[in-house]
Structure 1
């Protein structure tokens, strides 16, 4: 059995169909084991037989759409991929805080074999790089200004909606949850 994290795009906890309880119900209904949620923003961890990520993404998204009307994207990473990303410590020397968000933007499994860094990064964004094994853009967002960074809009314009972003702190919590359920 393999431990997975489903990073769901567009989850709004205020929407009754997007509650953690209903999301977990879809995963349990698909036959996954040890289903649990992390925070209330669409992070579900579960155990399943080893399965290609793209196959899990399609299967889960189809069920979320059919059962709860959730059209957003599903992105899957297994425990080993996320643990290795954390262990590489791409944000060494930085701390996630109110003024500085450390973020990872994940791509659907094999959706974009060639990812390019932006030519003119947003002045409020420092691009750390692209982590190939985790298939994730890594960036530092300066939140100390009332101006909204344009980096997230650039990512979506460039790569479409088959992406989802999580803070580094959230990813640490997801991995901790995955490890506590083993």
Structure 2
């Protein structure tokens, strides 16, 4: 069995149709095993014999839309991919906090490869790398100044469209931990 994490876009935990219980129910109806949620923001881990990730993403998204009216987006990464990402230690010496908000932004379309890192699109964001196997930008966001919001996410959407999703580094760590319990 293959272990996967589904990183769902556009989940609002306050919406009753987007509760972890309902999200897990859709995955269980699709026949996946060891379905579990991580936090309340659209992180579902599961096991499946399927190996076609693109097909899994499409099946899950269609079911979420049909069952719960969730039109967001589904991005899947395997346990091996996420473990390798963690092992790469892209944020050496940094800890997640107010001035060093560590994030990973996953692109759904793995064919869109970052040939080079972008010029720093935002003074409050520092892109530290691009992980090709996970198709993810890795960045440090400075949100230490009240009232100053980084424009990094807007830049990502403008550059790569809406088929992306961002998770904090702490969330990525929690997802991998849950996949291996």
**TM-score normalised by the shorter chain: which range applies?**
over 0.9
Q: What is the CA–CA distance in structure 2 between the aligned matches of 1:102 and 1:111, rounded to whole Å? A: 24
Equivalent position SS for 2:3: strand
The answer to whether residue 151 in structure 2 is matched with residue 150 in structure 1 is: yes
Deviation per residue, 1:28-65 (Å, 9 max, x gap):
00000000000000000000003221111111000000
State the alpha-carbon separation in 2 of the partners of residues 121 and 113 from structure 1: 17
Q: Aligned pair in 2 of structure 1 residues 15, 116: CA closer, same or farther (>3 Å)? A: farther
Match of 2:137 in 1: 137
Report SS of the residue matched to 2:180.
Answer: helix
Any residues of structure 2 matched to 1:37-52 within 5 Å, and which?
A: 37-52=37-52
Deviation of the 1:97 alpha carbon: 1.3
Of 145-154 and 21-30, the range deviating more from structure 2:
145-154
Question: Which residue is equivalent to 2:177?
Answer: 176
Q: 1:120 to 1:102 in 2, by over 3 A?
A: closer
Pairing 1:52-63 to 2, within 5 Å after superposition: 52-63=52-63
Q: Which runs of 5+ in 2 are unaligned?
A: none
1:7 and 1:164 in contact (8 A); partners too: yes
Closer/same/farther in 2, CA of residues 24 and 113 from structure 1, 3 Å limit: same
CA distance in 2, matches of 1:140, 1:113: 20
TM (normalized to structure 1)? 0.95
What is the aligned residue count? 180
TM-score by length of 2: 0.96
User: What RMSD, in angstroms, separates the aligned Cα atoms of the two structures?
Assistant: 1.2
